[in-house]
Structure 1
Amino acid sequence: MIIILKLKLRSKLIMEMNFIKDLSKSVSVTYRRTQMFYTEKLKELGISSGQYMFIVCICENIGQTQDELSQRLIIDKSTVAKIVSQLETKGFITKNVNPKDRRAFSIFPTDKAVAIYPEILKIKNEWHNKMTENFSDIERDVFEKLMVKVMENSINNCQ
């Protein structure tokens, strides 16, 4: 009885606040819930919700520079430098002077990063499945394509 009442109240609150019709709120709530999920799941791996995507990108693009990492993740260079430094301190990556440009560093995953990479992908898949659990295959495909368009539009319209 209490659970049903809580669900009705939560549903009513969402409807009253027009979350369904307000894209910004929907994106914001989804982002916050995503961060909560990743924070909980990733803490046992010794990384944060802000660091996992760096490990994935570094494992998938071995030897890239910090600038290339910044471009791939669409994150500003100062944030990339900060997180790369954190990951280096934790032993997940190493940086070597780039032989093509002595001013730049090439980034490499350590065995520690390579070891958790498959687990990160499992966690990522788990969350994607939870977010789209009531979707048909067609809805999931359309949703993924629309989200890419939304992301591209946000990048192109907010420099």
Structure 2
Amino acid sequence: MSKEKSNNNRYIAKYISQLYRKSRIFINREVSKYDINSGQFMYLMDLYIQDGKNQEELSERLKVDKGTTARVIKKLEEKDLVTRVKDSSDKRCNRIYLTEKSREVEVNILNAFDEWNKMISENLTEEEEETLRNLLEKVGKNINI
């Protein structure tokens, strides 16, 4: 790999890292009032899209290891934000469902996410935003660790 390409790769990672840190700060600030943090936030977001997933599905969709998912679900359960229900067709599997408490804060949680998306795309055209989304998705598919 050439030195020039190597430097460019480092800069890409630098900007991704900055965005990640800033997003965690913003999301934590916005959702902490609901006793949620940025690590728990993404699980709720995924369940808002489709409630009743099992832990393995959540891990796969969020690209998080199963142990982390189990710990986060346990914390969310302790906070009465989700409940685990044994799958009727596979007793080894738990389905994760949102509770009334998590449904009550859904609009606020989604608004925080929308606000973050507005902030990071504020100076982008619709075409640039779509290109960025496609490129990030493409890059994400390259990383399987």
Please report how far the alpha carbon of residue 19 of structure 1 lies from its aligned counterpart in structure 2 after TM superposition: 9.0
2:16 paired residue number: 27
Please report how far the alpha carbon of residue 120 of structure 1 lies from its aligned counterpart in structure 2 after TM superposition: 1.3
Q: Contact between 1:95 and 1:105, CA under 8 Å: does it hold in 2?
A: yes
Which secondary structure does the structure 2 equivalent of 1:108 belong to? strand
Computed over aligned residues only, the root mean square deviation of the Cα atoms, in angstroms, reads: 1.7
Q: CA separation in 2, counterparts of 1:20 and 1:134?
A: 23
1:138 paired residue number: 127
Query: Which of structure 1's runs of 4+ aligned residues deviate more than 2 A?
Result: 18-21
Greater RCO, CA 8 A, separation 6+: 2
1:1-159 equivalences under 5 Å are 22-155=11-144, 159=145
Higher radius of gyration, 1 or 2: 1
One-letter amino acid of the structure 1 residue matched with residue 17 of structure 2: S
TM-score by length of 2: 0.89
One-letter amino acid of the structure 1 residue matched with residue 101 of structure 2: K
Please report how far the alpha carbon of residue 73 of structure 1 lies from its aligned counterpart in structure 2 after TM superposition: 1.0
Which secondary structure does the structure 2 equivalent of 1:25 belong to? helix
1:9 paired residue number: none
Please report how far the alpha carbon of residue 51 of structure 1 lies from its aligned counterpart in structure 2 after TM superposition: 0.6
One-letter amino acid of the structure 1 residue matched with residue 56 of structure 2: D
Q: CA separation in 1, counterparts of 2:45 and 2:22?
A: 20
> CA 1:79/1:26 → structure 2, altered by over 3 Å: closer, same or farther?
same
Please report how far the alpha carbon of residue 132 of structure 1 lies from its aligned counterpart in structure 2 after TM superposition: 1.2
Which secondary structure does the structure 2 equivalent of 1:121 belong to? helix
Q: CA separation in 1, counterparts of 2:127 and 2:114?
A: 18
Which secondary structure does the structure 1 equivalent of 2:134 belong to? helix
Q: Contact between 1:63 and 1:106, CA under 8 Å: does it hold in 2?
A: yes
Which secondary structure does the structure 2 equivalent of 1:50 belong to? helix
Matched residue pairs, number? 139
TM-score by length of 1: 0.82
Q: CA separation in 2, counterparts of 1:46 and 1:101?
A: 32
Q: CA separation in 1, counterparts of 2:28 and 2:92?
A: 34
1:15 paired residue number: none
Please report how far the alpha carbon of residue 60 of structure 1 lies from its aligned counterpart in structure 2 after TM superposition: 2.1
Which secondary structure does the structure 2 equivalent of 1:103 belong to? coil
